[in-house]
């Protein structure tokens, strides 16, 4: 299996073998973070630019740590304080970064498709760190990596994804990745937070949280993204917790060793109770640790894939 | 690729390893503070065998680890086939140990250079020594082996293949010609 892409834009584009290659590479990288000197020279002399149009702490820091453990140089650009405010377009920003002879752009943008558009117009590597409601591939990869590490396989697992599916790029990337690897995915949310047609991605829908949890080997609890609420789609916080919140009582009806995942940041008492977030079934902090290994693998592979890249359009 | 000359068979390969095991013990005056680290893939198999040989002689089981040097290579962008990154598995502290690096073939010395960097990132050994099954010459770096199974003068058009039961279903060392 050879990685021949210069970009990682989403899991929809990848086949099973490519996803498995990333996971296997990540497994090898995990050991680096357990060393006293947490650094290998694989990307020495490469420059990674984190271009973030949306506020993000954990994803940006995770990419930054990953790049630094590979010995790359890292530059962080937050759009709020950059020339974007002076009216520069995304493509111009991207070309300027390319002109600085950077090697990889990690982009977070509020518009779906932003990473793909940028990747077509620059010759350097682009890694999608979340674009609008579309995809957040590295988050899904680290979720899948954590599941696989805990349960030894993905094929045949029942995975429930609970919460704001409509606004969630994490949900979309997870559905693509998990179904490609042979897991059965059930999504669960209030009806107005489930986008029409999502079952065509190969998942089941339920509006009842107990149904979703009953056979689940793992549940991925999404954050309620109140900052994305434009109208009255969102139920009251307490109402949501009552009907969909993951609590100890609800888990009593689920499998005893069900795995609890959450991409963070968690809203305690809204989508998940404190008790559950801190219980031994919860792998929320393991996800953070594994995120570094997965992002190291992605940065390493796209940098290799760059040699085989196609020329940019324009 | 065609097999040209068989240099070592199962028995002679085994005798080489037994001799190297004796030499390692002689030079280090026993197995105290000694550990072996094999370079993936075939160096790792050889390291495990050497540990067995040392146990037979000295009745001590010394620690053995596996080193993956992919991330330390200086030719990552030059090789056509992408190397797959594997795990480094060294579950003991190498600081203040006498570490014997083990590889199958010593050629340009670049693999060993990468392995030295990788090892030093893991700790500060008292010493690092190098054991190889075959030294085929043509060094590009100032590196030499402390223990050599067999010195084999080769031409650059030839390749030396070490085949081991663990990976290749038989034990032998052959010179193959590229054609």
Phi, psi dihedrals of residue A72, rounded to the nearest 5°: -80, 160
Q: Pinpoint the alpha helices (H) of B100-176.
A: 110-122, 165-168
**DSSP secondary structure of A73-92:** EEEEEEGGGSGGGGT--HHH
B175/A231: higher pLDDT: B175
CA A28 to chain B, closest CA, distance in angstroms equals 4
Strands (E), chain A: 47-52, 73-78, 104-109, 125-131, 158-162, 184-188, 204-206, 218-221, 259-261
By 3-state DSSP, what share of chain A in percent is helix, strand and coil, each rounded to 5? 45, 15, 40
CA B16 to chain A, closest CA, distance in angstroms equals 32
pLDDT tens-digit readout, A48-94: 999 999 988 899 999 999 999 999 999 999 987 777 777 889 999 99
CB contact under 8 A, B122 and A37: yes
Show residues of chain A in contact with B89, CB under 8 Å.
31
pLDDT tens-digit readout, B39-56: 988 999 999 999 999 999
CB contact under 8 A, B72 and A25: no
Q: List Cβ neighbours of B26 (8 Å cut-off, separation of 6 or more).
A: none
Predicted local distance difference test score (pLDDT) of residue B96? 96
Q: Does B166 touch chain A (CB under 8 A)?
A: no
CB contact under 8 A, A25 and B85: yes
Q: Does B78 touch chain A (CB under 8 A)?
A: no
CB contact under 8 A, B85 and A35: no
Return the H-helix or E-strand segment holding A24: helix A16-30
Tell me which residue of B119, B41, B130, B48 sits closest to B85, measured CA to CA.
B41
By 3-state DSSP, what share of chain B in percent is helix, strand and coil, each rounded to 5? 30, 30, 40
Q: What is the pTM of this model?
A: 0.88
Return the H-helix or E-strand segment holding A179: helix A169-180
Residue A313: which pLDDT band, with cuts at 50, 70 and 90? Answer: very low
CA A37 to chain B, closest CA, distance in angstroms equals 6
Assigned token pair, B165? 């039961």
Interface size between A and B, measured as CB pairs under 8 A: 45
Predicted local distance difference test score (pLDDT) of residue A80? 78
CB contact under 8 A, A40 and B71: yes
Give the nearest partner residue to B122 out of A27, A35, A300, using CB atoms.
A35
Percent of chain B with pLDDT over 70: 95
Could you give the ipTM of this predicted complex? 0.77
Phi, psi dihedrals of residue B139, rounded to the nearest 5°: -70, 140
Tokens 């979720």 — which residue? A143
- The string over A143-170, giving b where at least 16 C-beta atoms fall within 10 Å of a residue's C-beta and e elsewhere, is bbbbbbbeeeebeebbbbbbbbbbbbbb
Q: Does A31 touch chain B (CB under 8 A)?
A: yes
Give the nearest partner residue to B72 out of A25, A41, A307, using CB atoms.
A41
Give the nearest partner residue to B87 out of A27, A35, A297, using CB atoms.
A27
Give the nearest partner residue to A307 out of B68, B77, B84, using CB atoms.
B77
CA A309 to chain B, closest CA, distance in angstroms equals 13
Give the nearest partner residue to A39 out of B82, B87, B121, using CB atoms.
B121
Q: Is residue A230's pLDDT more than 70?
A: no
Q: Is residue B171's pLDDT more than 90?
A: yes
Q: Does B77 touch chain A (CB under 8 A)?
A: yes
Kindly identify which residue of chain B lies nearest to residue A34, measuring between CA atoms: B122
* DSSP assigned state of A210: H
CA B143 to chain A, closest CA, distance in angstroms equals 21
Residue A240: which pLDDT band, with cuts at 50, 70 and 90? Answer: confident
CB contact under 8 A, B89 and A31: yes
First to last CA, chain A: 30
Predicted local distance difference test score (pLDDT) of residue A314? 38
Kindly identify which residue of chain A lies nearest to residue B86, measuring between CA atoms: A28
Percent of chain A with pLDDT over 70: 94
CB contact under 8 A, A37 and B81: no
Q: List Cβ neighbours of A16 (8 Å cut-off, separation of 6 or more).
A: A180, A181
Give the nearest partner residue to B121 out of A2, A21, A35, using CB atoms.
A35
In angstroms, the CA A295 to CA A300 distance is: 8
Show residues of chain A in contact with B82, CB under 8 Å.
2-3, 304
CB contact under 8 A, B82 and A304: yes
In angstroms, the CA B179 to CA B155 distance is: 14
Predicted local distance difference test score (pLDDT) of residue A312? 44
State the Cα angle at B76 between B71 and B79, rounded to 5°: 140
């Amino acid at each position: 299996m050879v990685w021949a892409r210069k970009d990682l834009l989403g899991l929809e584009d990848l086949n099973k073998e490519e996803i498995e290659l990333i996971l296997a590479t990540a497994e090898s990288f995990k050991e680096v973070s357990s060393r006293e000197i947490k650094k290998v020279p694989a990307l020495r002399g490469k420059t990674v630019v984190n271009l973030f149009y949306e506020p993000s702490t954990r994803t940006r820091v995770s990419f930054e740590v990953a790049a630094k453990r590979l010995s790359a140089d890292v530059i962080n650009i937050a759009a709020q304080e950059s020339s974007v405010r002076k009216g520069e377009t995304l493509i111009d920003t991207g070309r300027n970064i390319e002109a600085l002879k950077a090697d990889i752009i990690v982009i977070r943008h509020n518009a779906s498709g932003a990473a793909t558009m940028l990747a077509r117009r620059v010759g350097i590597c682009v890694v999608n760190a979340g674009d609008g409601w579309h995809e957040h591939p590295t988050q899904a990869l680290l979720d899948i990596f954590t599941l696989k590490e805990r349960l030894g396989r993905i094929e045949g697992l029942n995975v429930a994804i609970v919460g704001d599916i409509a606004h969630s790029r994490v949900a979309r990337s997870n559905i693509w990745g998990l179904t490609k690897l042979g897991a059965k995915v059930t999504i669960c949310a209030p009806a107005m937070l489930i986008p029409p047609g999502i079952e065509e991605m190969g998942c089941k829908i339920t509006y009842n949280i107990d149904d979703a949890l009953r056979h689940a080997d793992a549940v991925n609890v999404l954050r309620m993204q109140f900052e994305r609420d434009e109208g009255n789609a969102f139920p009251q916080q307490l109402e949501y917790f009552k009907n969909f919140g993951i609590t100890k009582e609800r888990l009593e009806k689920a499998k005893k060793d069900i795995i609890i995942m959450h991409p963070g940041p968690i809203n305690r008492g809204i989508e998940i109770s404190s008790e559950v977030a801190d219980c031994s079934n919860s792998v929320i902090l393991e996800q953070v640790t594994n995120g570094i290994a997965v992002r190291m693998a992605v940065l390493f592979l796209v940098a290799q894939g760059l040699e085989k890249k196609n020329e940019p359009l324009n | 690729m065609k097999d040209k000359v068989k240099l070592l068979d199962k028995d002679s390969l085994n005798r080489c390893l037994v001799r190297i095991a004796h030499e390692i013990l002689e030079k280090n005056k026993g197995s105290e503070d000694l550990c072996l680290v094999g370079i993936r893939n075939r160096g790792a198999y050889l390291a495990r065998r050497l540990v067995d040989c040392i146990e037979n002689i000295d009745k001590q089981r010394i620690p053995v680890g596996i080193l993956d040097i992919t991330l330390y290579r200086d030719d990552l962008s030059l090789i056509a086939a992408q190397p797959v990154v594997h795990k480094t598995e060294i579950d003991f502290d190498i600081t203040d140990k006498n570490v014997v690096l083990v590889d199958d073939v010593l050629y340009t010395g670049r693999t060993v250079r990468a392995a030295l960097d990788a090892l030093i990132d893991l700790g500060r050994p008292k010493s690092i020594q190098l054991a190889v099954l075959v030294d085929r010459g043509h060094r590009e770096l100032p590196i030499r082996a402390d223990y050599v199974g067999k010195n084999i003068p080769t031409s650059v058009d030839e390749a030396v293949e070490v085949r081991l039961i663990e990976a290749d279903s038989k034990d032998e060392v052959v010179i193959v010609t590229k054609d």
